Chain A
Amino acid sequence: MANDPDEKQPPAPPPGEKPAAKPPAASGEAAPKPPAAAGAAPPKPVAPAAPRPPAAPPAPKEGPVALDNDLVRRYKAKFGDAIREAWTDRKQAILVVALERLGDVALYSRDDEKFDWLSDLTAVDWPKRDKRFDIVLNLYSFEKNERLRIKAHAAADERVPSVQGVWTTANWLEREAYDMFGIIFEGHPDLRRILLPEEWQGFPLRKDYDILTQDTAWVRENLGVESGQ
């Protein structure tokens, strides 16, 4: 789990791969450059000789794997059903928690599990889902040198408990999430737009945000001209 110095090599190239372009030159000379197979090949050493079907090389093991380790058990012992799911993806641990317990989980993560550094807070929009937003918190623990991702699902009109009181840095991050997705964070001291102008209509990172309509309307209203788009 966590970000990992020790990821395995991709299982890609076994079938009759040419031994790395050039035999490793007699180890004497420092850092021999492979001059792109002695001028034979064009500068791009990418293409394997035979045209391979673009079938993606990564083996199916990439992707979500259910997770049940001590960390998850501790969370489950503490929060019971509020821990909805736990899995790893690309060896990174992910917990899905009930939205209404997000604040408690955040506090517990910081104080008991020592995830004292909120590296990022953002959201992902899945408009077809019942609860369309994923609230995503990327945490880091200096003590354990580990990352953990906590997610909660929120419907469009649902209020998300703010974690600004737990990590001060969430102040701007939640403002940005509000700015881009229109997610209301309950308990945030100053929830305003941060990157876009205050009079902006709509929330651009929602999947159903129509850029053209928005742009035309904004230009007409604020510049008094018809948009050239």
Chain B
Amino acid sequence: MADKRNAYGTDVETTVLGADEIILNMGPQHPSTHGVLRVKLRLDGERVISSECIIGYLHRGVEKIAEHRSYQQFAPYVDRMDYLAAVSNGLGYCEAVEKLLGAEAPPRARVIRTILTELQRIASHLFWLGTHALDIGALTPLFYCLREREEILKIFEKYCGARLTTHAFRIGGLQYEAYDELEKDVERFCNPFDKRVDEYEALLTENRIWTGRTKNVGILTAKEAVDHAASGPVLRASGVKWDIRKAMPYAAYDQYKFEIPTGKNGDTFDRYMVRLEEMRQSRLICLQAIANIPAGPIMARIGKVLKPPPGEVYHAIEAPKGELGYYIVSDGTTQPYRVRIRPPSFVNLEAFDKMIRGHLVADVVAIIGTLDIVLGEVDR
């Protein structure tokens, strides 16, 4: 405790602790912070007065790395940000560079991209559900969720050989043609999946412990959610019906019918319901997409050496965690002049302090879980 600032941080530094108040340090090696997140909590008994997130343990300087790689070389790096949704990261990056080039992936590639990205959304939400329930004390859902997620990872593995950091897409389209049984595999996964989600619901939705731990916990009103620029399920659970897939369609989303689920109270329970419904909707998108994969090339005709004309672009997609944006500045050379990644986890985590104030210590893990952060993306 040589350095007071390091030990306590500013919030505490500037104010005197009350007689009943203590500082509790949580993490960075805490199992339910989903990675290396450290949270400093100022407590009055069991109640959290204020908090501070300390992040950066996984900072790898991805944005700096980008400035020293060619456009194609950087593509695999983005998989390592949100490593639970690598396919989505790749989609955002490839589309951003395509936009910068003025190119567009062919229809077939876009449909296959959509299928894989929606599967990835389901996989990401499954992992979230399993671990979130585990944090709150329900062990069983984890096993069910990982069982289903495994099927999705197997599809990825069959498609491109990798399960997590897939690098599934290329700038301009796809490198790999869909394997022969892709549609069958997706169908085999999707058909019973609706029932599976019902099973999770049977375990949790009306479970007294579950509702007790999630209802009215970590409320974020619509106004606050917008103010904090929360996105994805966090925003929608607060009642803002906004999904980039609908608002500014990319890939092939404009061809499919799906609903945007929203919540009312913006509490942990609503975010749970929104994500469950999103899994159902993603399943519907997958089924619609495999029913009609257009024929044709899977790669646009772009040069081997990519030199986007000078200029800049901001392209955002609806990643499982929220708005994943890429702001890329080109100076006309083969390497990006600047790549800025707008990470949904980072921005959503910013609202954590707002959500936790006044709640109990035990709710900290519920709220971290419900934000669905991945530290690889928070820190980049």
Partner-B contacts on A (CB < 8 A): 2-5, 7, 9-10, 12-13, 17, 20-22, 24-25, 30-36, 43-46, 48, 52, 54-64, 89-90, 92, 94, 116-120, 122, 124-125, 136, 138, 142, 145, 147, 149, 167-169, 171-173, 176, 180, 190, 192-198, 204-205, 209, 211
Encoded as 1 (CB less than 8 Å from any A CB) or 0, chain B from 223 to 242 comes to 00011110100000000101
14 pairs from A and B in contact (CB 8 Å cutoff): A7-B99, A30-B291, A34-B108, A34-B295, A57-B302, A63-B309, A89-B311, A116-B226, A117-B229, A120-B340, A122-B327, A145-B247, A195-B55, A197-B56
A181, B59: Cα distance in complex, Å? 15
Given contacts A56-B309, A142-B242, A195-B55, contact A169 B350 (CB under 8 A): yes
A7, A62, A138: the one contacting B104 at CB < 8 Å is: A7
User: Which of B177, B291, B301, B337 is the one whose CB lies under 8 Å from A48?
Assistant: B301
Inter-chain contact A120/B327, CB cutoff 8 Å: yes
Contacts of B290 in A (CB 8 A): 31
In the complex, which residues of chain A have a beta carbon less than 8 angstroms from the beta carbon of B313?
A: 89-90, 92
CA distance A173 to B291 in the complex (A): 42
Q: Select B63's contact among A5, A10, A34, A205, beta carbons within 8 Å.
A: A205
CB distance from A111 to the nearest CB of B (A): 13
Residue of B nearest to A12 (CB): B301
Asked if A172 and B296 make an inter-chain contact with CB atoms under 8 angstroms apart, the answer reads no
Asked if residues B103 and A31 are in contact (CB atoms below 8 Å), the reply is no
User: Is B16 part of the binding interface, using a Cβ–Cβ cutoff of 8 Å?
Assistant: no
Contacts of B302 in A (CB 8 A): 12, 57
Residues A45 and B177 in contact, CB atoms below 8 Å apart: yes
On whether the beta carbons of A90 and B327 are closer than 8 Å, the reply is no
Number of A-B contacts (CB under 8 A): 187
Residue B210 at the chain A interface, CB threshold 8 Å: no
Chain B residues 292-324 with CB under 8 Å of chain A are: 292-316, 323
Q: By the criterion CB–CB under 8 Å, are B56 and A122 in contact?
A: no
Report which residue of A30, A61, A117, A190 has the largest number of chain B beta carbons within 10 angstroms of its beta carbon. Answer: A117
Chain A residues, CB < 8 A from B380: 195
The residue in chain B whose Cβ has the minimal distance to the Cβ of A4 is B248
| Candidates A17, A25, A120; contact of B325 at CB < 8 Å | A120
Closest residue of B by beta carbon distance from A2 = B248
Question: With A and B bound together, what is the CA distance between A56 and B307 in angstroms?
Answer: 7
Q: Which residues of B contact A56 (CB under 8 A)?
A: 101, 303, 306-309
Task: Given A57-B303, A142-B242, check contact A5 B104 (CB 8 Å).
Answer: no
Report whether B59 and A195 are in contact in the complex, using a CB–CB cutoff of 8 Å: yes
Interface size on B, residues (CB 8 A): 75
Partner of B314, one of A36, A92, A180, A193: A92
Instruction: Select A3's contact among B172, B248, B306, beta carbons within 8 Å.
Output: B248
Residues of chain B lying within 8 A (CB to CB) of residue A171: 350
Q: Please give me the residue from chain B that is nearest to A145 by CB atom.
A: B247
State the B residues within 8 Å of A (CB). Answer: 5-6, 10, 55-56, 59, 61, 63-64, 99-104, 108, 172, 175-178, 180, 183, 226-229, 231, 240, 242, 247-249, 254, 290-316, 323, 325, 327, 329, 337-338, 340, 342, 346-347, 349-350, 379-380
Least Cβ distance of B322 to chain A in Å?
A: 10
Within the assembled complex, what's the spacing in Å between the Cα atoms of A122 and B306?
Answer: 25
Question: How long is the Cα–Cα vector from A190 to B235 in the complex, in angstroms?
Answer: 25
Q: How far is the CB of A116 from chain B (nearest CB, A)?
A: 6
Among A57, A167, A173, contact of B301 (Cβ-Cβ < 8 Å): A57
CB atoms of A64 and B311 under 8 A apart: yes
Output the least CB separation between B121 and chain A (Å).
20
Q: How far apart sit A192 and B294, CA to CA, in the bound complex (Å)?
A: 51
Chain B minimum-CB-distance residue to A196: B56
**CB–CB B342/A119 < 8 A:** yes
CB-defined contacts of A35 to chain B, threshold 8 Å:
177
The 7 closest A-B pairs by CB, nearest first: A58-B102, A169-B229, A195-B56, A31-B293, A54-B303, A120-B342, A62-B102
Are B311 and A90 in contact, with the CB atoms below 8 A? Answer: yes
State A62–B308 Cα separation when bound (angstroms): 9
- Complex CA–CA separation, A122 to B292 (angstroms): 40
Task: Tell me if A90 and B100 are in contact (CB < 8 A).
Answer: yes
Contact A90 B340, CB 8 Å, known A58-B309, A119-B316, A205-B64: no
Q: How far is the CB of A204 from chain B (nearest CB, A)?
A: 6
Closest to B292 in A: A31
Q: Are A45 and B299 also in contact (CB < 8 A) when A33-B177, A168-B227, A192-B10 are?
A: yes
A3-B248, A57-B103 in contact; A22/B295 too (CB < 8 A)?
Answer: yes
Chain A hits for B338, CB < 8 A? 124-125, 205
Q: How far is the CA of A171 from the CA of B55 in the complex (A)?
A: 14
